[in-house]
RNA sequence: GCGGGUGUAGCUCAGUGGUAGAGCGCAACCUUGCCAAGGUUGAUGUCGCGCGUUCAAAUCGCGUCACCCGCUCCA
């Protein structure tokens, strides 16, 4: 994939254009001028998405014994969003730098001192001009010329190419207006004056109930995960499962993104596929198994083991999810980013981002986080409903421990708490209380959370599959050939069925027969118009992996041994093979599932 | 939200004050013995939307909406 930005933007535009032209993705409400940050999936997009959704659902729950499905509602009691922290972190008061429009949290502005300078505007020899007043702070000790240079650079950066070179920008009517001490009204990096504090709530607010008063305010869920936590106990109590086990869910989530962008990559309404996989705390594993298995490079992750702690479970899910991506054709374009201690939220032990190369850059497809017991504990304390589970095996094992062994476990944990670099360490009393519950077999499970975005997965699959080549025919005429190399498992149409010629009734009749035979089992497209080459090309463009042509051999014209055989064409190689009609279904089913 | 750019047929785009166009695609018919063949015919646009200037606006001005790029954020 080229890395030149212009080529990449052009590539993205071609993909958007193909998506519209062939019915993958449309702009929402297009006839009314669109609607910001939301997209509709057309006939082929709906099939593609459905295939991805099904692939995920099958690998995550139906093919496993230890994961259960859930389908929770989008609207929930708003208390959930307070407990989860979304109301706080998603509704910050933000202030904007008047110079660069960079936003900072209103409560995160460090006090600064210096001289306040004001300009009436700026202009450059290119004819560009900016008429709004510019107010900025010279930091204490900053030389006036270096200040002016800095302001010109910031303006140039913000204005783009039209302003020309930064050094040629002229700042108009410099005026010293004030000297400030410990002011929080200037951007800590740029020095630009900050605007009014405004709430930037990323959650979509709505009213539940017809009266629409403030008391009825709730939110469209900004993620699907919280419903899993909120229903954790119900699923656990109704399903006869034991930890470790998981609950997965696919569903819509909503965020009032400030800047939706990159086509469907960041939209305001999107579909998530999330798993919360609940595991025993490491201390419980240690009590039961005598030790917690340590992860090392090359560890066998194929089969979960009883002595796995959070680290191996986390690695296991990264491995599982990687295999999934290989299975839908995204294997070669994946990258991984292991969050550093600074990136991580205070409650998280580890988080790896699975990234994928898109034309607009390498961006996140899925995050896999080890979140400890943060979420369930938060809901336990906010709802005052216990989220603990009882573990018979743990109780039995703990009963066999001596008091010294128990104390050693407690001391080990106390040492770990003391060594914490983030968040508040637990008090000794809290640690002892927690162990007391643990020795009785009760704990709040810890969680590993693989969280994927379906829409960006669909976009990744399309972008990866997109290929454009130039072809010159015998007459020297250039043509652009577009092929979507979609994995057969996700392709919206699995096979195209074509009579070689449409004016030969026997070919058409046979083709309709083959079409009917396959249609019950997979999405098949029948096409008899135009030349056979064009029909192949139309299907190549939407990623159909197979084409079946009914020709004169099928009707027995070239000898009885070829009767009831068809041409099976493979999209990527262009190769054709002769296949008996009765062998088609098993052969195709094997390839597309 | 701010700055820059863009908006004309399904797609890509031309048209810069005076009768809305091209290529490709699409539909029908004819033709066609395997990779976008050919022929004939046809459909599709109150030029993103609104207001204004003008005898006259796709074209000029203002506003607005959407998309793209940057700042920001993240599934």
The pLDDT value given to residue A317: 97
The pLDDT value given to residue A163: 61
- CA–C1' span, A555 to B33, in Å? 13
* Contact between the CB of A269 and strand B at under 7 Å: no
Low-confidence stretches of chain A (pLDDT < 50) are none
- CA–C1' span, A477 to B14, in Å? 22
* Contact between the CB of A260 and strand B at under 7 Å: yes
- DSSP-derived 3-state class of residue A95: strand
Q: Shortest CA–C1' contact from A483: which nucleotide? A: B36
* Contact between the CB of A453 and strand B at under 7 Å: yes
Q: Which residue has the tokens 């700026």?
A: A122
Distance between first and last Cα of chain A: 28
Q: How far apart are CA A527 and CA A517, in angstroms?
A: 15
Q: Shortest CA–C1' contact from A274: which nucleotide? A: B75
Stretch (H or E) spanning A49: helix A43-57
Instruction: Output the pTM of the full model.
Output: 0.87
* Contact between the CB of A576 and strand B at under 7 Å: yes
* Contact between the CB of A161 and strand B at under 7 Å: yes
Q: How far is CA A448 from CA A31, A176, A234, A373, A577, in A?
A: 43, 56, 19, 10, 47
Q: How far apart are CA A47 and CA A371, in angstroms?
A: 34
The pLDDT value given to residue A161: 54
Tokens (6 digits) for A517: 């035979």
The pLDDT value given to residue A501: 94
Neighbours of A458 (CB within 10 A): 23
Q: Which residue is nearest to nucleotide B25 (CA to C1')?
A: A21
What size, in residues, is chain A?
593
Q: How far apart are CA A315 and CA A464, in angstroms?
A: 26
Q: Is the dihedral of CA A527, A528, A530, A534 positive or negative?
A: positive
Tokens (6 digits) for A381: 């304390």
* Contact between the CB of A103 and strand B at under 7 Å: yes
Q: Provide the pairing of β-strand A546-550 with A495-499.
A: parallel
**Phi, psi of A122, rounded to the nearest 5 degrees:** -150, 155
Return chain A residues 205..224 having CB < 7 Å to nucleic acid strand B. 223
ipTM: 0.92
Task: Give start and end residues of each alpha helix (H) in A345-390.
Answer: 374-383
* Contact between the CB of A201 and strand B at under 7 Å: no
Return chain A residues 14..43 having CB < 7 Å to nucleic acid strand B. 16-17, 20-21, 27, 33-38
Q: How far apart are CA A10 and CA A116, in angstroms?
A: 44
The pLDDT value given to residue A422: 80
Q: Which residue is nearest to nucleotide B27 (CA to C1')?
A: A529
Closest to A313 in 3D by CA, of A435, A181, A447, A425: A447
Tokens (6 digits) for A290: 């005598």
- DSSP-derived 3-state class of residue A314: helix
Q: Provide the pairing of β-strand A217-220 with A204-207.
A: antiparallel
- DSSP-derived 3-state class of residue A592: helix
Q: Over the range A345-384, which residues count as b (16 or more CB within 10 Å of their CB) and which as e?
A: eebbbbbbbbbbbbbbeebebbbbbbbbbbbbbbbbeeee
Closest to A128 in 3D by CA, of A72, A154, A96, A166: A166
Contact predicate A20/A6, CB 8 Å: no
Nucleotides of B under 7 A from a protein CB: 1-5, 7, 10-13, 25-28, 30-37, 48-49, 65-75
Q: Dihedral angle at the C-alpha atoms of A140, A145, A151, A155, nearest 10 degrees?
A: 180
């Amino acid at each position: 994939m080229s890395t030149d930005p212009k080529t990449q933007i052009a590539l993205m535009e071609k993909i958007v254009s193909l998506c519209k032209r062939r019915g993958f993705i449309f702009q929402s409400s297009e006839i009314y001028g669109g609607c910001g940050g939301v997209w509709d999936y057309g006939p082929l997009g709906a099939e593609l998405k459905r295939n991805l959704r099904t692939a995920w659902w099958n690998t995550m729950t139906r093919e496993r014994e230890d994961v259960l499905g859930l389908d929770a509602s989008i609207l929930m009691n708003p208390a959930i969003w307070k407990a989860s922290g979304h109301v706080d972190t998603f509704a910050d008061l933000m202030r904007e730098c008047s110079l660069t429009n960079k936003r900072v949290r209103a409560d995160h502005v460090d006090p600064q001192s210096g001289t306040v300078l004001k300009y009436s505007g700026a202009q450059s020899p290119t004819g560009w001009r900016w008429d709004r007043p510019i107010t900025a702070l010279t930091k204490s000790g900053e030389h006036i010329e270096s200040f002016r240079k800095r302001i010109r650079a910031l303006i140039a950066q913000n204005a783009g190419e039209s302003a020309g070179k930064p050094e040629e920008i002229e700042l108009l009517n410099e005026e010293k207006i004030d000297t400030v001490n410990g002011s929080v009204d200037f951007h800590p990096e740029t020095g630009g004056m900050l605007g009014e504090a405004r709430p930037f709530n990323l959650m979509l607010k709505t009213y539940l109930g017809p009266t629409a008063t403030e008391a009825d305010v709730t939110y469209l869920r900004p993620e699907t995960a919280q419903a899993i936590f909120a229903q954790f106990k119900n699923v656990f109590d109704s399903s006869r499962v034991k930890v470790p086990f998981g609950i997965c869910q696919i569903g819509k989530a909503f965020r009032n993104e400030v800047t939706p962008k990159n086509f469907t990559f960041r939209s305001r309404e999107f579909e998530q596929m999330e798993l919360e996989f609940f595991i025993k705390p490491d201390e419980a594993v240690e009590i039961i198994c005598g030790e917690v298995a340590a992860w090392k490079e090359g560890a066998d992750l194929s089969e979960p083991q009883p002595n796995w702690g959070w680290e191996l479970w986390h690695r296991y899910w990264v491995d599982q999810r990687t295999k999934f991506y290989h299975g839908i054709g995204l294997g070669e374009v994946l990258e991984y980013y292991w969050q550093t201690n600074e990136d991580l939220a205070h409650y998280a032990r580890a988080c790896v981002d699975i990234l994928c190369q898109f034309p607009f850059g390498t961006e996140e497809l899925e995050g896999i986080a080890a979140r400890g017991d943060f979420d369930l504990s938060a809901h336990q304390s906010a709802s005052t409903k216990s989220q603990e589970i009882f573990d018979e095996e743990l109780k039995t094992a703990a009963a066999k421990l001596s008091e010294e062994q128990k104390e050693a476990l407690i001391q080990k944990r106390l040492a770990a708490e003391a060594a914490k670099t983030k968040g508040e360490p637990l008090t000794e009393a809290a640690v002892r209380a927690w162990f007391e519950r643990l020795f009785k077999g009760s704990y709040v499970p810890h969680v590993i959370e693989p969280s994927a975005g379906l829409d960006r997965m669909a976009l990744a699959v399309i972008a990866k599959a997109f290929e454009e080549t130039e072809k010159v025919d015998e007459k020297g005429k250039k043509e652009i050939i577009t092929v979507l190399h979609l994995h057969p498992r996700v392709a919206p149409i699995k096979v195209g069925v074509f009579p070689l010629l449409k004016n030969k009734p026997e070919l058409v009749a046979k083709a309709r027969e083959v079409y009917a035979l396959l249609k019950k089992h997979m999405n098949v497209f029948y096409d008899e118009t135009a030349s056979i080459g064009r029909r192949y090309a139309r299907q190549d463009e939407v990623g159909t992996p197979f084409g079946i042509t009914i020709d004169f051999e099928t009707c027995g014209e070239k000898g009885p041994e070829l009767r009831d055989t068809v041409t099976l064409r493979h999209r990527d190689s262009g190769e054709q093979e002769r296949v008996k009609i009765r062998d088609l279904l098993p052969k195709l089913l094997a390839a597309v599932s």
